[in-house]
Amino acid sequence: MKEGIEYAILTDEITRAWADRSVRDYKKFKGLKKENLRDNMTNLELVLNMLAEASTTEISKKRKPEGLENNKQVARAGGIAARKARLEIEKQTGESVITNKNAKLLKGNRNPSLPNKSSK
């Protein structure tokens, strides 16, 4: 199997584990066709995706998996770590972290300003 295909398979495993949907389903949910999914994530979605990827990298360093099936197990484990964080955030906020908002809807809301701390 080619490296690019394996990378896509592992990316999909990570996404399925943390977001409970495949990359294809996630893009469809956001109304995307050829657009990049990451470019159309909210800040929280992006952070959780990055947590899943970083967790997968750290687990992989410890387990040193060989072969696609072992790497898929590691990808799932990394994604599950981020899923736990996502579920806790959803429990605390009462809202889904996974939204159908895409870049068109997010434009202008990407980096909201922080409240002014000097007003005491």
- pLDDT digits 0-9 by tens, 58-98: 999 999 999 999 999 999 999 999 999 999 999 999 999 99
Report field, pTM of the whole predicted structure over 0.85: no
Classify the phi-psi angles of 20: left when phi > 0, otherwise alpha if psi is within -120 to 50, otherwise beta. left
Q: What percent of the chain has pLDDT over 70?
A: 88
Cα 120 to chain centroid, rounded: 37
Q: How confident is the model at residue 117 (pLDDT cuts 50, 70, 90)?
A: low
- Residue 49, in any domain of the structure: yes
- Residue 97, in any domain of the structure: yes
Decide if pLDDT at 39 tops 80: yes
- Residue 120, in any domain of the structure: no
Which residue has tokens 């870049």?
103
- Residue 117, in any domain of the structure: no
Residues with Cβ within 8 Å of 14's Cβ and at least 6 positions away in sequence, in order, are 49, 52, 53, 56, 75, 76, 78, 79
- Residue 102, in any domain of the structure: yes
| Residue 119 pLDDT | 45
Number of domains composing the chain:
1
Range of 25's domain? 3-106
Letter for the amino acid at 67?
A: G
